């Protein structure tokens, strides 16, 4: 049982999970095996983010050509350096600050506290596929469609950058310590298109008011946009979908809106 092995590691190395780092370790061997299967890592170089004590790392190493494991917690990084095979390179670093541009495959049981920044960071990377374990609610928001209550900036940015698909639910009981919520394995296949910074900013601003009309959302974003409300009201008259609620806009409509030169030219 991996749970028993985990507890033995805690005792041997005097390690205790850190709540502030959202440390909860996947201890279900069947889920780990499925995660490796979904990632299709055979013979490839894998970037693993947050390997923890190395249960998933070990399974990846059995099939991958090489595993680069980036671990922020120095205690766990040293443990991994002592226990992993030669095909595993352990890097002690905060992934969010780590300089990496590409990978063949990315795999991670993502700490809940860094889900959004991690996702936005890998959106800037080049890779073939990623299998990531997120909080289930977060995963549902990633794949939500326009008009649904879960449709958000996260949905839009995820679906503009990737083809996200929920592979399976992972019960909270598969982790130790047991978290308060369930998780889900998500497959990401890059679309090969990057969302430019200005478009990303505009999407962020209007989705802060996602239940309002496009016109109202823009006017309410006056301070963030650095444009007077009166000028924004006049500008909105030139924009498509101005009477539609932000949450109702499809990806294509959103990109048409934020791509309008009348709007971009003011920023």
Q: 104-121 pLDDT, tens per residue?
A: 999 999 999 999 999 999
Do the annotations mark residue 224 as ligand-binding?
A: no
Cα separation values, 208 from 114, 211, 218, Å: 20, 9, 10
What pLDDT, on a 0 to 100 scale, did the predictor assign at position 267?
Answer: 79
Contact 106, 127 (CB under 8 A): yes
Cα separation values, 217 from 116, 204, 206, Å: 22, 11, 5
28 confidence band (pLDDT: 50, 70, 90): very high
The residue among 21 and 238 whose pLDDT is bigger is 238
Nearest to 169 by CA among 34, 1, 25, 6: 34
Query: What's the whole-number average pLDDT of the chain?
Result: 95
Q: Report the run of H or E that residue 66 belongs to, with start and end.
A: strand 66-71
Say whether pLDDT at 262 is over 90.
no
Say whether pLDDT at 20 is over 80.
no
Do the annotations mark residue 71 as ligand-binding?
A: yes
Residue 216, phi then psi, degrees to nearest 5: -65, -40
Do the annotations mark residue 173 as ligand-binding?
A: no
* Percentage of residues of the chain with pLDDT beyond 70: 99
21 confidence band (pLDDT: 50, 70, 90): low
| CA dist., res. 54 & res. 78, Å (int) | 11
What pLDDT, on a 0 to 100 scale, did the predictor assign at position 252?
Answer: 97
Nearest to 154 by CA among 106, 212, 145, 218: 145
Residue 228, phi then psi, degrees to nearest 5: -60, 145
Rounded mean pLDDT of 235-244? 95
Cα separation values, 96 from 75, 119, 120, Å: 18, 10, 10
What pLDDT, on a 0 to 100 scale, did the predictor assign at position 193?
Answer: 84
120-144 residue pLDDT tens: 999 999 999 999 999 999 999 999 9
Do the annotations mark residue 109 as ligand-binding?
A: yes
Nearest to 107 by CA among 61, 23, 167, 46: 46
Do the annotations mark residue 187 as ligand-binding?
A: no
Residue 178 tokens, joined: 């047991």
What pLDDT, on a 0 to 100 scale, did the predictor assign at position 240?
Answer: 95
32-81 residue pLDDT tens: 999 999 999 999 999 999 999 999 999 999 999 999 999 999 999 999 99
The structural domains of the chain, ordered by start, are 2-190 (3.40.50.150), 197-264 (1.10.8.100)
| CA dist., res. 242 & res. 244, Å (int) | 6
């Amino acid at each position: 049982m991996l749970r028993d092995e985990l507890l033995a590691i805690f005792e041997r190395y005097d390690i205790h999970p850190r709540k502030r780092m959202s440390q909860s370790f996947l201890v279900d061997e069947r889920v780990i095996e499925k995660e490796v299967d979904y990632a299709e890592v055979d013979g490839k170089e894998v970037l693993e983010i947050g390997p923890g004590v190395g249960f998933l790392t070990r399974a990846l190493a059995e099939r991958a050509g090489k595993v680069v494991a980036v671990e922020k917690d120095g205690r766990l990084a040293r443990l991994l350096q002592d226990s992993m095979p030669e095909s595993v390179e352990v890097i002690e670093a905060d992934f969010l600050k780590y300089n990496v541009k590409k990978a063949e495959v990315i795999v991670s049981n993502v700490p809940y506290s860094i889900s959004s920044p991690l996702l936005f960071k890998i959106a800037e990377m080049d890779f073939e596929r990623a299998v990531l374990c997120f909080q289930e609610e977060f995963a549902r928001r990633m794949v939500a469609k326009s008009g649904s209550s879960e449709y958000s900036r996260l949905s839009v940015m995820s679906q503009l950058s990737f083809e996200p698909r929920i592979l399976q639910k992972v019960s909270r009981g598969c982790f130790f310590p047991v978290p308060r919520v369930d998780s889900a394995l998500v497959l990401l296949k890059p679309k090969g298109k990057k969302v430019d910074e200005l478009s990303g900013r505009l999407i962020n601003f209007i989705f802060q008011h996602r239940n309002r009309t496009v016109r109202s959302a823009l006017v309410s974003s006056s301070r963030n946009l650095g444009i007077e409300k009166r000028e924004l009201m006049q500008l909105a008259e030139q924009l498509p979908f101005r009477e539609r609620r932000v949450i109702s806009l499809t990806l294509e409509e959103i990109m048409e809106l934020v791509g309008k030169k009348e709007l971009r030219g003011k920023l």
